[in-house]
Amino acid sequence: MTLFVACAAPAPPAPPPGPGPIPARLRVEAPSGAEVQVDGIVVGTAPLLTPIDADPGPHDLIVTENGHHPHIERVQLERGKTKSITVDLDPTPQRIGAWVAIGAGAAGVATGVVFGVLAVVEDRRAQDLLDNSSGDLSEADQKTYDDAISARDNDRIGSGVAAGAGLALFVTGALLFSFDDPKLPSRDGKTSSVKTVPIVSPGFAGALTTVEF
C-alpha cells in the first residue's frame, strides 16, 4: 500500500495597508468666542488650537459672533498643505448703537444722582434757615429761602428726568446688545433679523422692536 501525504505551504502574509489619503488642513485665526463653521458644520469656537482636517477642494468657511458681521468665504484647499486664514469681524451698527445707548444711559443715571444730591443740599439749606430763625424770616432770609426751595424743586425734576431717561437708554442698549445675532443668508437668499430702535421724546423713553423675515 502506498500512502501519499500532501502538505500545503502557508499563504504569504497580506501586505500592510498603505497610508491613507493625506488630508488638506485649514488653520483659522478668529476673535476669541467666534463660532467657526466649515460647509455648514460647526467645527469649534475660536481660538482653535489645531488645524481643521478636510478633503482637498473647495469649502465654505463661515465665522460668526454676536454683534458682528459674519465672515463668509469660499476657500480652496490642497492635499497635504495647510491653508491659514485670519478673520477680523467688524461690529454691526446695532452693536455700536448698543454701547452708545448703554454709555449714555449710565451717564444719565449718574446725572440724575447728582441732581438728587443737589436737591437734598438745597432742601437742607432752606430747612436751616427756618431752624435758625426766631420767628418770621427777614426779607433777605425769605428770598434766600425761596431761592433754595425753587432750586430744590428744579433739581428734583432734573433728577427724575435724567435718571428716567438714563435708565430707559440703558435698558434699550441692553436690548440692542442682546438681540444682535449674526444674520446669515438662508437658502432662498433672504435674511431674518431682530431690530430694536430706541425712542426718546419729552416725557417718554422706550424702544421699538421689529422682526424682519
Residue 18 in any domain: the answer is: no
Residue 10 pLDDT: 60
64 and 159 part of one domain = no
Domain's final residue, options 51, 86, 121: 86
Residue 13 pLDDT: 67
Residue 16 in any domain: the answer is: no
Task: Give pLDDT < 70 ranges for the chain.
Answer: 1-22, 134-135, 185-213
Residue 17 pLDDT: 54
Residue 60 in any domain: the answer is: yes
Give the domain range for residue 69. Answer: 24-86
71 and 130 part of one domain = no
45 and 100 part of one domain = no
Residue 53 in any domain: the answer is: yes
Residue 88 pLDDT: 92
Residue 59 pLDDT: 92
Residue 8 in any domain: the answer is: no
Residue 131 in any domain: the answer is: yes
76 and 101 part of one domain = no
Note if the pTM is more than 0.75.
no
Residue 194 pLDDT: 44
The CA distances from residue 53 to 10, 74, 80, in Å, are 41, 16, 10
Residue 155 in any domain: the answer is: yes
99 and 164 part of one domain = yes
143 and 202 part of one domain = yes
Residue 19 in any domain: the answer is: no
Tens-place pLDDT, residues 181-190:
777 765 554 4
Residue 38 pLDDT: 92
Total number of domains constituting the chain: 2
104 and 150 part of one domain = yes
Residue 58 pLDDT: 93
109 and 208 part of one domain = yes
